[in-house]
Structure 1
Amino acid sequence: MNQKELWEYFGREILNSKLGDEKKKYLSFLSCTWYDGEKYDPSFNSYEDLIKITKGYVALGGGGLALFGTASLFTWPDHFEQLIDKFSDKTPIDRTRFLDDSCYRGTYGFCFSTTLGSVLHELFHTFDLGHTEYGIMNRGFDDIYKFFTVNSETGVSDTLSKAFKNKIEFKEEFEAEKLSERLQNVSRKKHFSIIKKYDETDDTFLSKSCAIVLYYHKWFNQNEESKKYVLSFDKTSKFISATNGIRVVEIRNLINEMVLIDWTFEGKILKIYFQLPDEYSKYYNLDHLLVVEDSSGNILKNIL
């Protein structure tokens, strides 16, 4: 089964079990993931080669479920007190025995950093975040160790103060919606490809629009569910109306949910109306998704 099929299968299993609840979100780890190191060949030169010999590999999140394989948990700590030591672990990964999920960096510490960051990235998708050019919602999650460590005091400091140039571009056709609705969509898929990325000091952050989406999100606030509101978009006039006040407007690529343009409104005076500017008309087509959040965490998604 591929990642999408695993996500759909176990999503249904969860929803049909006594644990199932549309008002819950699930962070799940697939215990049957298995890396067949006997099939490893030194000629393998891409991450995709390693995934091909890994059964039950998955790192996918959205709607109500974030699901992950367990082939790299050998690099994770057993106790919280081991956290820094695990990030600092320079032990090389033996690919004949274990999956190297370290973003081509090859050590236990980096594998832990990439996989823990990936968990956070996918979990954020369940809270309606899209992809961004930089930061956690791009490939910044590879370097999540930077959030926990201080360069001058850790064994991974000197060479890690700069981001690595060889990265993996992470794209997924996966929008956030209810788990039951997501399971009805059978056309989602995920792509990886090697890209070049220039040196950065730190990319373990959320973009402004992502942070505001989380700040007003219903999952992190106690708002009256029964309160009536209007949150609408008129395709002809490109007018957005929100009786509770607009907080975030994003235009995303429909395929990979990359945030292309965003507007945020943080003032005390509520923004009740907003018209998409004519200067961005090239995005107003079926290839792009409009995402709007109001002050009460209500979210509107509409294909432009």
Structure 2
Amino acid sequence: MISDDGVLQIELDNLENGEIIKHTLLLIKGHIRQKRQANKCREQQIYLQVKRGDATWELQLQSNISRTGQFKLLCDFGQLEVETANTRIPLQLKFSYCNIVRQCEILYETSAYCKTDYRLQSLYITCCNQQPTPSQVLENCEKINLNLRLVQCVYAEQLRSAGYDRSTYTLNSDCKIFETRLTCEEVWEQSEESLWQNFAKEILNSTTWGGEDKLKFVAFIGCTKYDGAAVAATGDFSYTNIRKHLKGHAALGGGGLALFGAAYLYAWPQRFDEINACFGSNKLVDLTQLPDDSNYRRTYGGVYATTLGAVVHEIGHTFDLGHTKDGVMGNGFDYINRVFTIDNLTENLPERVIQVPAPVLSTQTVAGPRVTQLKRTPNTFLEKYHEQKTNDSFYFTRNCVIILAHNKWFGYSHGPAAVQHTDSALIKYDSINGCVLSEAHGNPLCLIEVRSVDNSLVKYWYEPQSNQESDEIYKFHLPKEALQALEKHHYLFVLTRSGAAKRLCEH
């Protein structure tokens, strides 16, 4: 919409008329265009009203306008989940800035309307001898609920920006309490790999969640303990030493479980209207009292960004994503704050090193590796400046997006059910001819990755395509570099058009 004098205009960058929104938190990005400096509007807020039928509804909003006119507006549709059920709701959005108005019509689908049985369930783990205060458990569960909705929004935005529908996972319900058979003392003595193994087994064997093969879980350990006094006594405030004195902690994902410690929830918002303030908080972390995982930013905002980014990363492993050199599944998950904020200063953070994977529980629940170790790197401030000036620095690489876009937990369904249930068995590797095959009719190859056995780092990836758009690829001959990598501790991850995935050549 342009003002009467043609000077002022509201542009929406990531929302069009008729779009279907399937998640409660919606990030709207756009620009205020002003063609003349004279009489320039100095308003610092953009306003939004929502009409549903004859009723006008004021949304909860978090909005900012940058010095260059860019705006990011976060909307909470959660109220619609309470007021309505099993329905698709037409909404008219009315944006106002100074004397101009821009309207956009969308459809909101409630979670009850969603037909998929494949969902994500959050759990708050308490020990059998733990007696947490009900208020603390409630506060942490509310933080988990809110921020998993925010992560849901992040996945949807990433897929849309890559050219796919705004697809994302569906939350099963609010966070539930899960009491482990372990005592606090037993939890504190175990490594994060052991904790992942134990909790994965308990959840899968529990009367409540056992046999739920259509659920994946995100769990937070409630008894995580930090010995700040011991850290202070050493005078060593490095991440390695902080992690050494953090017991009952994990940041590990794979198979059907992403597992985290609850120690960093102190920096997370509990309410929607706290999100921007938490991302922007420059409050320094008292390392004698609280642990720091901010990639050396040492602020509450840094802790929030890094630990929420780690949740996006580890959940990604549960959706079959490997590690990448760049992006969310590599070195870029610290920057999730930039997705929601504007006018950010350049952050030149240490690079990360990909660690060795955790032990395997079973073929169905593989604990993937994680990225936690840090190393100092040469000054690349100028590189970071240009990179962060032109984008949010928080993104999934193309191969990761393809996997997510074809994942059944993201609502993807293609082809007859019979084909979908059997086609993973029909994905094969012909070692004699060095090619990957899909023997299921109507289910061609979609993506092939060569991953390291040590840390699931993607060394090469291929998107089989023909010169003719209508042609489908059922056989793909691996290039020479891929064949050489398979001889040196690498394996294949293969994805077909139906979303079936299989690992081949694992040693």
Same fold, TM-score > 0.5, yes or no:
yes
- Would you say the 8 A contact 1:59–1:69 is kept in 2? yes
How far did 1:286 drift?
4.9
Task: Identify the residue that residue 22 of structure 1 maps to in structure 2.
Answer: 213
Give secondary structure in 1 for the equivalent of 2:314.
helix
Give secondary structure in 2 for the equivalent of 1:168.
strand
How far did 1:191 drift?
6.6
TM-score, normalising length from structure 1? 0.89
How far did 1:172 drift?
3.9
- Would you say the 8 A contact 2:193–2:359 is kept in 1? no
- Would you say the 8 A contact 1:86–1:109 is kept in 2? yes
- Aligned residue runs from structure 1 range 144-183, under 5 A: 144-151=336-343, 157-158=344-345, 162-174=346-358, 181-182=365-366
- Would you say the 8 A contact 1:62–1:177 is kept in 2? no
How far did 1:182 drift?
3.3
Task: Identify the residue that residue 232 of structure 1 maps to in structure 2.
Answer: 428
Task: Identify the residue that residue 446 of structure 2 maps to in structure 1.
Answer: 247
Give secondary structure in 2 for the equivalent of 1:138.
coil
- Aligned residue runs from structure 1 range 127-142, under 5 A: 127-142=319-334
- Would you say the 8 A contact 1:28–1:67 is kept in 2? yes
Name the CA distance, whole Å, in 1 between partners of 2:485 and 2:324.
16
- Would you say the 8 A contact 1:240–1:275 is kept in 2? yes
Task: Identify the residue that residue 50 of structure 1 maps to in structure 2.
Answer: 242
Task: Please list every run of 5 or more consecutive structure 1 residues that lacks an aligned counterpart in the other structure.
Answer: 152-156
Q: Residues 86, 191 of structure 1: CA spacing in aligned structure 2 closer, same or farther, 3 A cutoff?
A: closer
Are 2:474 and 1:282 equivalent residues in the alignment? no
Question: Aligned to 1:105, which of 291, 297, 302?
Answer: 297
Task: Identify the residue that residue 61 of structure 1 maps to in structure 2.
Answer: 253
- Would you say the 8 A contact 1:114–1:141 is kept in 2? yes
Q: Residues 65, 196 of structure 1: CA spacing in aligned structure 2 closer, same or farther, 3 A cutoff?
A: same
Are 2:273 and 1:81 equivalent residues in the alignment? yes
Give secondary structure in 2 for the equivalent of 1:290.
strand
Name the CA distance, whole Å, in 2 between partners of 1:19 and 1:280.
40
- Would you say the 8 A contact 2:295–2:349 is kept in 1? no
- Would you say the 8 A contact 1:253–1:289 is kept in 2? yes
Name the CA distance, whole Å, in 2 between partners of 1:216 and 1:252.
19
Counterpart residue type for residue 282 of structure 1: Q
How far did 1:168 drift?
3.0
Give secondary structure in 1 for the equivalent of 2:310.
helix
Q: Summarize deviations over 1:223-281 as a string: whole Å, max 9, x none.
A: 44422532111122111111311111110111011111111146553211101012443
59-68 or 30-39, which moves further after superposition? 30-39
Name the CA distance, whole Å, in 1 between partners of 2:306 and 2:287.
16
Are 2:475 and 1:273 equivalent residues in the alignment? yes
Q: Summarize deviations over 1:113-172 as a string: whole Å, max 9, x none.
A: 000000010000001001111100012111110111112xxxxx23xxx34242332324
Name the CA distance, whole Å, in 1 between partners of 2:504 and 2:480.
18
Name the CA distance, whole Å, in 1 between partners of 2:372 and 2:505.
22
Across the aligned residues of Structure 1 and Structure 2, the Cα RMSD in angstroms comes to 2.4
Q: Residues 297, 176 of structure 1: CA spacing in aligned structure 2 closer, same or farther, 3 A cutoff?
A: farther
Task: Identify the residue that residue 38 of structure 1 maps to in structure 2.
Answer: 229
Name the CA distance, whole Å, in 1 between partners of 2:417 and 2:473.
21
Task: Identify the residue that residue 219 of structure 1 maps to in structure 2.
Answer: 409
Greater Cα radius of gyration, structure 1 or 2: 2
5-14 or 232-241, which moves further after superposition? 232-241
Q: Residues 279, 55 of structure 1: CA spacing in aligned structure 2 closer, same or farther, 3 A cutoff?
A: closer
- Would you say the 8 A contact 2:354–2:370 is kept in 1? no
Aligned residues: 293
Give secondary structure in 1 for the equivalent of 2:323.
coil
Task: Please list every run of 5 or more consecutive structure 2 residues that lacks an aligned counterpart in the other structure.
Answer: 1-189
Name the CA distance, whole Å, in 2 between partners of 1:177 and 1:213.
23
TM-score, normalising length from structure 2? 0.54
Q: Residues 104, 192 of structure 1: CA spacing in aligned structure 2 closer, same or farther, 3 A cutoff?
A: same
Name the CA distance, whole Å, in 2 between partners of 1:180 and 1:82.
38
Task: Identify the residue that residue 154 of structure 1 maps to in structure 2.
Answer: none
29-38 or 83-92, which moves further after superposition? 29-38
Q: Summarize deviations over 1:43-87 as a string: whole Å, max 9, x none.
A: 214211001111111000000000000111000001122111100
Name the CA distance, whole Å, in 1 between partners of 2:331 and 2:486.
27
Question: Aligned to 1:296, which of 481, 487, 498?
Answer: 498
- Would you say the 8 A contact 1:173–1:255 is kept in 2? yes
Name the CA distance, whole Å, in 1 between partners of 2:328 and 2:371.
18
Give the number of the structure with larger relative contact order, counting CA–CA contacts within 8 Å between residues 6 or more apart: 1
Task: Identify the residue that residue 375 of structure 2 maps to in structure 1.
Answer: 194
Q: Residues 113, 302 of structure 1: CA spacing in aligned structure 2 closer, same or farther, 3 A cutoff?
A: same
Counterpart residue type for residue 351 of structure 2: K
Task: Identify the residue that residue 208 of structure 1 maps to in structure 2.
Answer: 398
Name the CA distance, whole Å, in 2 between partners of 1:34 and 1:301.
37
Name the CA distance, whole Å, in 1 between partners of 2:444 and 2:480.
22
Name the CA distance, whole Å, in 2 between partners of 1:136 and 1:36.
30
Name the CA distance, whole Å, in 2 between partners of 1:34 and 1:290.
39
- Would you say the 8 A contact 1:173–1:190 is kept in 2? no
